[in-house]
Chain A
Amino acid sequence: MPTTAELKDICTQIRRDIVRMVHANNSGHPGGSLGCTEFFVALYFKIMQHNSNFNMDGKDEDIFFLSNGHISPVWYATLARSGYFEVAELATFRKINSRLQGHPTNHDHLEGIRVASGSLGQGLSVAIGAALTKKLNNDDKLIYSLHGDGELQEGQIWEALMYASANNIDNLIATIDYNKQQIDGSLDDVLKLGDLKAKIEAFDWHVLEEKEGNNIEAVIRILEKAKSLSGNNKPIAILLHTEMGNGVDYMMGTHKWHGSAPNDEQLESALAQNAETLGDY
C-alpha cells in the first residue's frame, strides 16, 4: 500500500497530466478534474480492490462509474497511472482516432471504462444496475460512483435515489463532487439544491459528508467509513466538498475553468505548482 506521501506525489503527477492533456488540444474540463484528484487517487490507489488487467464484467472486484463524464482527464490519468493502459496514450486525449474521447466511452475498448457517460444523470442508475448484478452473482465486492453536484439537477438522479433505497442497494457508494460550481456559474445562482444532505437523507440513504475533499487523508477516511457501512440495507452517499481547480492557484474558486484550457504561459504556471513525481507522459 502506498504511503500518504506517495499518494500526494501521485496527486501532483495526475494534476500535471490533467493540465497537459487539456492544454495539448486546447479543450477539456480541468476544473472539476483537478478538484477530484484526491478522490480518484484514494479510490484507485488505496480503497478499491480492482484489477488493471481489465475485464468488462468485473466479477469479484470493485467497480467504479463516472457519471459526470466531462471530468474524463482525471479518470484517464488515474487509469493510466494505475496500469490500465500506457501513460503515453494520454497524449491522444480528444484527438482524432483516440480511445480517450472527450467524454469516457467503452466504445473503443479503453481499459477501465465500462459504459459511456457525458450526457448527465444516467450514471447512478447504471451503478445500481451493476450493484444488482453483483448481488445476483453473490459477488460481495462494491460499486463506487461519482456525480457532479450540478448533475443532481437531472431528474433521473432522483428516480435512482428513490429506487436504490427502496430496494436496499447497500453495495453502492455514490459520491457527489460538491464543488458548488457549474458551467453557467455557482450552483446557487443556476439552480440551488438547498439542503442536499437532508434531501438525500429524506430519500432514505445513509449520507456522509466530508468538508476536506482535497485532503487525501480525509478522503481516504471518509471512503473507509462508507465502506464499513456497506451491507446494512441502505445505499451510501458521500457529499465530498472539493474545490474546483484545486492545485492550480488561478483556477481555484471560480467556475471559469469548468471547460476551458490554459494557454502556454498558464500551463507553465500550473506545472510549476505541481511537482513531476512519476515522470510526465
Chain B
Amino acid sequence: MEMKDTRSGFGAGLTELGRRNPNVVALCADLTGSLKMNEFKNENPERFFQVGIAESNMMSIAAGMTIGGKIPFTGTFANFSTSRVYDQIRQSIAYSSKNVKICASHAGVTLGEDGATHQVLEDIGMMKMLPHMTVINPCDFNQTKAATIAIAQHAGPVYLRFGRPKVPNFTDPNQEFKIGEAINMTIGSDVTIIATGHLVWEALEAVKELEKKYISAELINIHTIKPLDKNAILESASKTRCVVTAEEHMLNGGLGDSVAQLLSRSLPTPLEMVGVNDTFGESGTPRGLMEKYGLTTYNIIESCEKVMKRK
C-alpha cells in the first residue's frame, strides 16, 4: 500500500486549482512547507499571499478578498485555523457568508511529537456549530486532493481538515468528490461503522478482522460531517440495527455526536463511539498516540462487538 500524507493531497489539489481557476488565491501564515503550498506559490506568485504569523489577519483578509470574486484558500495548522481565529471566522466568514476555504492541516493527535498545544481535537465541533459552514474531513491523499478541487466549485465557507502523517492511500485517484454524499466502502449486515478522516483506514482494517469472526460490517466513509448524509446513515442503521462511529476528534462535538443526534431523533439505535474522550493529547509518535487514545482498528473491533450485544 502506498503511504502518503493527506496534507500533500491538499497541496496537489491546490496546485491543480491554480492551473485551472484564475480566481483561486492562497494565503498562508508562515507554514507554506508544512501545508504543501509551495508548488502553488511557485506557479502563481501573484496569487499567493504570505501573511506571516498573524492568523486573525489572514482570516479577515481572506473574507475581504472574496469581495470582487476571488476564492481564497487559507492554510495553517488546524488549531490556528479554528480556535485561534474563531471570532474572525464567525463574524467575517460564516455570518457574512464569504466564499473562503479554510484548509487545516495537522489535525488531531497524529500531529505527534509537538504535543497538545498543537493537536486540536475540538475543531470539527467548533466549525460544525457555525451556521453556513460546510465541514469536510477526507481520509487519504487521493480523497483530500479531490475534496480540495471540489470545494472551489462550492459557493460558501468550507472547513477542510486533514493531517500530517503518511497514511495508506487507498481510495480511487480518479474519484469524483461530492460534498455531503457518503461513500459506502463495504456492504454488510451485522453492524454499521461510520468513520471519517484517518479512521476510515483503521475501520477498513477492522472490517477485514471482523469478517474473520463471521461478522459482516458495513463501512461508511463520511468525509462530509456537515451537511451530514442522513439518508445513508439511516438506511444502513435500519439494516444493521447497531452503529459505531470512528474519528480522530473529541467525542463531544464530533462526528459521533452528529450521528447520535440523528439516530436518537430519527431511528433510536444502539451506538458506540470511537474518539477521544474529554482529554487533551500529548507528545508521542502518531501510532503510539492513536493506541493510547483508543483510535485504532482494535478499538473499532471492540466497539463493534460491544454494540452488537446491545441490539
| A-side contacts of B156, CB under 8 Å | none
Q: Cβ of B67 and Cβ of A130 under 8 Å apart?
A: yes
Q: Cβ of B69 and Cβ of A129 under 8 Å apart?
A: no
Q: Cβ of B54 and Cβ of A105 under 8 Å apart?
A: no
Does A106 belong to the interface (CB within 8 Å)? Answer: yes
Q: Cβ of A125 and Cβ of B57 under 8 Å apart?
A: yes
Q: Cβ of A136 and Cβ of B61 under 8 Å apart?
A: no
Q: Cβ of B96 and Cβ of A156 under 8 Å apart?
A: no
The complex places the Cα of A184 from the Cα of B137 at a distance, in Å, of 44
Q: Cβ of A122 and Cβ of B67 under 8 Å apart?
A: no
Q: Cβ of B67 and Cβ of A114 under 8 Å apart?
A: yes
| B-side contacts of A105, CB under 8 Å | 95-96
| B-side contacts of A126, CB under 8 Å | 60-61, 63-64, 92
Q: Which of B31-39, B45-53, B198-206 lies on the face that meets chain A?
A: B45-53
Q: Cβ of B88 and Cβ of A115 under 8 Å apart?
A: no
Return the contact of B65 from the options A122, A133, A139 (Cβ within 8 A): A133
| A-side contacts of B69, CB under 8 Å | 57, 59, 133, 137
Chain A minimum-CB-distance residue to B54: A159
Return the contact of B60 from the options A63, A122, A162, A167 (Cβ within 8 A): A122
Q: Cβ of A130 and Cβ of B56 under 8 Å apart?
A: no
Q: Cβ of B95 and Cβ of A130 under 8 Å apart?
A: no
Q: Cβ of B52 and Cβ of A163 under 8 Å apart?
A: yes
Does A134 belong to the interface (CB within 8 Å)? Answer: yes
Does B91 belong to the interface (CB within 8 Å)? Answer: yes
CB distance from B97 to the nearest CB of A (A): 7
> Which residues, 129 to 184 on A, are CB-close (under 8 Å) to B?
129-134, 136-137, 139, 155-156, 159-160, 162-163, 167
Q: Cβ of B91 and Cβ of A116 under 8 Å apart?
A: yes
The complex places the Cα of A56 from the Cα of B70 at a distance, in Å, of 12
CB distance from B49 to the nearest CB of A (A): 7
Does B176 belong to the interface (CB within 8 Å)? Answer: no
Chain A: interface residue count, which band?
A: 35 or more
Q: Cβ of A129 and Cβ of B67 under 8 Å apart?
A: yes
Does A11 belong to the interface (CB within 8 Å)? Answer: no
Supposing A128-B64, A129-B65, A130-B65 touch, asked if A116 and B56 sit within 8 A by C-beta, the answer is: no
Q: Cβ of A125 and Cβ of B96 under 8 Å apart?
A: no
Q: Cβ of A107 and Cβ of B97 under 8 Å apart?
A: yes
The complex places the Cα of A55 from the Cα of B26 at a distance, in Å, of 24
The complex places the Cα of A129 from the Cα of B98 at a distance, in Å, of 12
Does A117 belong to the interface (CB within 8 Å)? Answer: yes
Q: Cβ of B87 and Cβ of A129 under 8 Å apart?
A: no
Does A119 belong to the interface (CB within 8 Å)? Answer: yes
- What is the number of residues of chain B that contact chain A, defined by CB distance less than 8 Å? 31
CB distance from A43 to the nearest CB of B (A): 17
Chain A minimum-CB-distance residue to B57: A159
Does B62 belong to the interface (CB within 8 Å)? Answer: yes
| A-side contacts of B57, CB under 8 Å | 125, 128, 156, 159-160, 163
Supposing A59-B68, A134-B68 touch, asked if A129 and B61 sit within 8 A by C-beta, the answer is: yes
Q: Which of B57, B65, B69, B88 has the most CB of A within 10 A?
A: B57
Return the contact of B96 from the options A58, A63, A106, A167 (Cβ within 8 A): A106
Chain A minimum-CB-distance residue to B53: A159
Q: Cβ of A137 and Cβ of B91 under 8 Å apart?
A: no
> Which residues, 107 to 129 on B, are CB-close (under 8 Å) to A?
none
Chain B minimum-CB-distance residue to A126: B64
Does A219 belong to the interface (CB within 8 Å)? Answer: no
Q: Which of B47, B59, B91 has the most CB of A within 10 A?
A: B91
The complex places the Cα of A159 from the Cα of B51 at a distance, in Å, of 9
Q: Which residues of A contact B (CB under 8 A)?
A: 56-59, 63, 65, 105-107, 114-119, 121-123, 125-134, 136-137, 139, 155-156, 159-160, 162-163, 167
Some 25 contacts from A to B, beta carbons below 8 A apart, are: A59-B68, A63-B67, A65-B64, A107-B95, A115-B64, A115-B67, A122-B91, A122-B92, A125-B56, A125-B60, A126-B64, A127-B64, A128-B57, A129-B60, A129-B62, A129-B63, A129-B64, A133-B64, A133-B65, A156-B57, A159-B52, A159-B57, A160-B57, A162-B54, A163-B51
Known: A130-B67, A162-B52. 11 other contacts (CB 8 A): A56-B67, A58-B67, A59-B69, A115-B92, A115-B98, A116-B92, A129-B67, A132-B49, A132-B61, A133-B64, A156-B60
